[in-house]
Amino acid sequence: MAYVRPVSKTTWYLKDRNYTIHMINELTSVFIGLYALLLLWGIGAVASGDKAYYQFFLECLTSPGMLVLLWVTTIVIFYHAIAWFKVTPKAMPIQKGEAFVPGGVIAGAHYVIWVLFSLVVLYFAGVF
Partner 1 sequence: MAKVNKALFWSLFAAGGTLTAFVFPVLALITLIAAHGSPPDGIPEIMKFEQMQGLLANWFGKLAAFGTVSLALWHAAHRLRVGLHGLGLRADGLVAVVGYGIALVGTILAAYWLVQI
Partner 2 sequence: MSAVQLELEILRYDPEKDQEPHFQTYQVACQEEWMVLDAINHVKDEVDTTLSYRWSCHMAVCGSCGMMIDGQPKLACKVSVKDYANKKVRIEPLANFPIERDLVVVQDDFMEKLKRVKPYIIRKEEQPIEAGEYKQSPAELKKFKQFTLCINCLCCYAACPEYALTPEFMGPAALALAHRYNTDSRDQGLAERHKELSKPEGVWDCSFTDTCSIACPKHVDPASALQQLKIATTVQWYKELIGMGDK
List residues near partner 2 by CB under 8 A. 1-5, 7, 9, 12-13, 16, 18-19, 22, 26, 87, 90-93, 95, 97-100
Q: Which amino acid is at 82?
A: I
Judged by beta carbon, residue 30 or residue 105, the one nearer partner 1 is 30
CA angle 76, 91, 77 (to 5 degrees): 10
Cα distance between residue 113 and residue 92, in whole Å? 17
- Say which residues have a Cβ less than 8 Å from residue 89's Cβ, sequence separation at least 6: 103, 104, 106, 107
CB of 26 to partner 1, least distance (A): 3
Nearer to partner 1, 32 or 103 (CB): 32
What minimum distance in Å lies between the beta carbon of 98 and partner 1? 28
Q: How open is the CA angle 42-52-55, to the nearest 5 degrees? A: 90
> Given the rule CB under 8 A, which residues bind partner 1?
9-13, 23, 26-30, 32-33, 35-40, 42-44, 46-47, 50, 53-54, 58-59, 61-62, 66-67, 70-71, 73-74, 77-78, 80-81, 84-85, 88, 91, 110, 113-114, 117-118, 121-122, 125-127
